[in-house]
Amino acid sequence: MTNDATPGRIVVDAGSLAHPTFTALPPLALYIHIPWCLKKCPYCDFNSHEVHGEAPEAKYVDALLADLEFALPSIWGRKVVSVFMGGGTPSLFSAAAIDRLLGGVRARVPLLPDAEITLEANPGTFERQKFADFYAAGVNRLSLGVQSFDPAQLKALGRVHDADEAKRAAEAALIIFGNVNIDLMYGLPRQSVVEARADLAAALAFAPPHLSFYHLTLEPNTLFHRYPPPLPDDDTAADIEDAVHATLDAAGYQHYETSAYAKPGRQCAHNANYWRFGDYLGIGAGAHSKLSFADRIVRQLRWKQPKQYLEQVAHARPLQEEVEVARGDVGFEFMLNALRLTAGVPTALFAERTGYALSLVAGGIDAATRRGLLEPDPTRLAPTELGRRFLNDLQALFLNTPMSAPARTRNAPEVAPLVRIEATGIER
Ligand X SMILES: C[S@@+](CC[C@H](N)C(=O)[O-])C[C@H]1O[C@@H](n2cnc3c(N)ncnc32)[C@H](O)[C@@H]1O
Q: Which does 183 bind (CB under 5 to 8 A by kind): ligand X, ligand SF4, none?
A: ligand X
Task: Give the C-alpha separation, 266 to 82, whole Å.
Answer: 14
Dist CA 287 CA 354 (whole Å): 22
Asked if 271 touches ligand X (CB under 6 A), the answer is no
Cα separation, 3 vs 18, in Å, equals 18
Can you count the helices (H) and strands (E) in the chain? 15, 18
Q: Which stretch binds ligand X (CB under 6 A): 82-90, 132-140, 193-201, 296-304?
A: 82-90
Helix axis angle, 163-176 to 128-136, nearest 10°: 30
Give, to the nearest 10 degrees, the angle between helix 306-314 and helix 57-71: 60
Q: Are 33 and 287 contacting, i.e. CB atoms less than 8 angstroms apart?
A: yes
Residue 138 interacts, among ligand X, ligand SF4, none and using kind-specific CB cut-offs from 5 to 8 Å, with none
428 binds, among ligand SF4, ligand X, none (CB under 5 to 8 A by kind): ligand X
Tell me the closest approach of the beta carbon of residue 251 to ligand SF4, in angstroms.
26
Measured from the CB atom, the residue of 82 and 354 that comes closer to ligand X is 82
Sequence-distant (≥ 6) Cβ neighbours of residue 52 within 8 angstroms: none
- Kind plus residue range of the DSSP H or E element containing 392: helix 391-396
Is residue 89 near ligand X by the rule CB under 6 A? yes
Q: How far is the CB of 187 from ligand X (least distance, A)?
A: 8
Contact between 351 and 357 under an 8 Å Cβ cutoff? The reply is yes
120 is an interface residue for ligand X by CB under 6 A: yes
Residue closer to ligand SF4, measured from CB, 88 or 364: 88
Closest to ligand X by CB, 46 vs 93, is: 46
**Among residues 86 and 387, whose Cβ is nearest to ligand SF4?**
86
Q: Is 126 in the site for ligand X (CB under 6 A)?
A: no
Distance CA 135, CA 128 (A): 11
Residue 409 binds ligand X (CB under 6 A): no
Sign of torsion over alpha carbons 383, 248, 184, 95: positive
String marking each residue 165-184 x if it binds ligand X according to CB under 6 A:
------------------x-
3-state helix, strand, coil in the chain (%, to 5): 40, 20, 40
Q: Binding to ligand X by residue 82, rule CB under 6 A?
A: no
Which option in ligand X, ligand SF4, none does residue 40 bind, with CB closer than 5 to 8 A by kind? ligand SF4
| Contacts with ligand SF4, residue ranges (CB under 6 A) | 37, 40-41, 44, 46, 48, 87-89, 122, 145
The full DSSP string for 39-77 is: S--TT--SS-EE--SS--HHHHHHHHHHHHHHHGGGSTT
Under the criterion CB under 6 A, does residue 147 sit at the interface with ligand X?
yes
Report the residue closest to ligand X, judged by CB.
145
Residues found near ligand X in the complex (CB under 6 A): 43-44, 46, 86-87, 89, 120, 122, 145, 147, 183, 185, 214, 216-217, 219, 413, 428
